[in-house]
């Protein structure tokens, strides 16, 4: 083992966390893994690491798997959070007492405003350590953890946008991440990574418009059956609100239809056509209940922050807002008030200039 190599703490032992830990182990990095499920931890410690198969093959040594977050992060160079966005706040809170100068918190992925939320928690908790927070726009892997200690990596993305808060630190962070992951490239700022969170576009609206299908006796494929002509058309129009929001912030965001072409080589006149030309989507089975992360996470940590920002800037966002409300009503649960709004991030009193300054330099002073 190269003693100059970075030490990574992976926070989260689900599919993505085990894939990342196993992959990093195979690459020869020092790896620790934290999770709250003792069975996962024990299985990994028992075999001393994670078996990885698929796009990466081998045994990735894991120095330590633990349910004690302190042990995982002590001396780590990069703390990689691979967890549901709903858990980011709690994880950040638990990290604070153990953070030290120079560490990087890398949220992989951050959903929308993940880095901003973690930054807010650190500030609220009076964190004194000089750390940089970064987020990726999605998960690097298409993967499944078949059982604790084994990760099946079906695919690795060629490019993955990463940005830090403040943006001035992005290149420095990406340079470090590149030691393990050459796929990671610098985004303009966390607005670019956050507003390219396609889960916000592709999950809540189609799920809600599929409510009866979800609760039916039918087996169905999420994209192939769920993105019907009308569902696809609605999503494309909702996506235009996201793109307009980006424009108002100086970003040229690709449309979801354009991204399908780039990411999956799936072209079509319409979104409904395009998803059917993505062979990988043949395997994605539709959910059998309505209260899943596709709504519970992708509304409060996806659409809600976009709506909050769009309203602040006067950008029309009625489709996104309608989906947020509908999701709250169908699940009979307020998914908006507790979401990542500008208010909840304590950024509602900044104007556009101050907001962009904070995003880019980290300074709130005007």
Q: Catalogue the active-site residues.
A: 203, 298
What minimum distance in Å lies between the beta carbon of 354 and a copy of itself? 32
Query: CB neighbours of 91 closer than 8 A, spacing ≥ 6?
Result: 11, 12, 69, 81, 83
What minimum distance in Å lies between the beta carbon of 346 and a copy of itself? 27
Site string (77-116) toward a copy of itself, x via CB under 8 A: ----------------------------------------
Residue from 20, 202, 208, 299 touching a copy of itself (CB under 8 A): that is: 208
Residue from 90, 216, 346, 363 touching a copy of itself (CB under 8 A): that is: 216
347 binds a copy of itself (CB under 8 A): no
Residue from 71, 179, 228, 255 touching a copy of itself (CB under 8 A): that is: 228
Count of Cβ atoms closer than 10 Å to residue 349 Cβ: 10
Residue from 2, 4, 38, 332 touching a copy of itself (CB under 8 A): that is: 332
Count of residues touching a copy of itself (by CB under 8 A): 32
Return the HEC string of the chain. Answer: CCCCCCEEEEECCCHHHHHHHHHHHHCCCEEEEECCCHHHHHHHHHHCEEEEEECCCEEEECCEEECCHHHHHCCCCEEEECCCHHHHHHHHHHHHHHCCCCCEEEECCCCCCHHHHHHHHHHHCCCCCCCEEEEECCCCEEEEEEECCEEEEEEECCCEEEEEECHHHHHHHHHHHCCCCCCEEECCCHHHHHHCCCHHHHCHHHHHHCHHHHCCCCCCECCCCCCCHHHHHHHHHHHHHHHHHHHHCCCCCCCHHHHHHHHHCCCCCCHHHHHHCCHHHHHCECCCCCCCHHHHCCHHHHHHHHHHHHHHHCCCCHHHHHHHHHHHHHHCCCCCCCCCCCCCCCCCCCCHHHHHHHHHHCCCCC
270 binds a copy of itself (CB under 8 A): no
| Footprint (CB under 8 A) of a copy of itself, residues 305-324 | 318-319, 322
Residue from 116, 133, 191, 231 touching a copy of itself (CB under 8 A): that is: 231
Residue from 105, 173, 326, 336 touching a copy of itself (CB under 8 A): that is: 326
Site string (10-39) toward a copy of itself, x via CB under 8 A: ------------------------------
What minimum distance in Å lies between the beta carbon of 223 and a copy of itself? 11
213 binds a copy of itself (CB under 8 A): yes
| Footprint (CB under 8 A) of a copy of itself, residues 275-294 | 290
What minimum distance in Å lies between the beta carbon of 238 and a copy of itself? 8
Residue from 212, 252, 365, 366 touching a copy of itself (CB under 8 A): that is: 212
Q: What residues make contact with a copy of itself under the rule CB under 8 A?
A: 206, 208-216, 218, 220, 225-226, 228-231, 233-234, 237-238, 290, 318-319, 322, 325-326, 329-332
């Amino acid at each position: 083992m190269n003693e100059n190599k970075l030490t990574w703490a992976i926070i989260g032992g689900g599919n993505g966390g085990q894939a990342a830990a196993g992959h990093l182990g195979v690459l020869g990095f020092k790896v620790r893994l934290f999770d709250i499920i003792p069975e996962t931890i024990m299985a990994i410690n028992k075999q001393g690491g994670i078996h990885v198969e698929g796009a990466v093959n081998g045994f990735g040594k894991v120095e330590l798997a633990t349910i004690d977050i302190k042990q995982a992060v002590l001396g780590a160079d990069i703390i990689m959070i691979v967890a549901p966005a709903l858990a980011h706040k709690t994880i950040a809170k638990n990290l604070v007492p153990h953070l030290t100068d120079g560490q990087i918190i890398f949220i992989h992925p951050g959903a929308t405003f993940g880095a901003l939320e973690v930054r807010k928690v650190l500030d609220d908790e009076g964190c004194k350590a000089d750390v940089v927070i970064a987020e990726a726009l999605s998960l690097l892997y298409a993967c499944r953890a078949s059982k604790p200690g084994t990760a099946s990596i079906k695919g690795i993305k060629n490019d993955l946008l990463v940005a830090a808060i403040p943006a001035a630190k992005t290149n420095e962070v990406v340079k470090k991440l590149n030691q393990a992951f050459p796929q990671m490239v610098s985004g303009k700022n966390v607005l670019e990574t956050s507003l390219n969170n396609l889960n916000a576009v592709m999950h809540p609206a189609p799920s809600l418009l599929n409510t009866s299908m979800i609760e039916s006796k039918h087996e169905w494929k999420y994209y192939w059956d769920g993105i019907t002509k009308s569902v696809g058309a609605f999503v494309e129009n909702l996506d235009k609100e996201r793109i307009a929001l980006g424009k108002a912030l100086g970003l040229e965001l690709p449309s979801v239809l354009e991204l399908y072409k780039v990411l999956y080589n799936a072209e079509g006149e319409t979104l409904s056509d395009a998803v059917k030309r993505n062979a990988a989507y043949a395997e994605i089975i539709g959910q059998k209940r309505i209260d899943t992360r596709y709504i519970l996470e992708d509304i409060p940590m996806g659409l809600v922050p976009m709506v909050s920002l769009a309203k602040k800037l006067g950008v029309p966002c009625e489709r996104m807002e309608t989906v947020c409300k509908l999701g709250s009503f169908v699940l009979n649960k307020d998914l908006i008030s507790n979401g990542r709004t500008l208010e909840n991030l304590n950024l509602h009193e900044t104007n556009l200039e101050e907001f962009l300054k904070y995003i880019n330099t980290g300074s709130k002073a005007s």
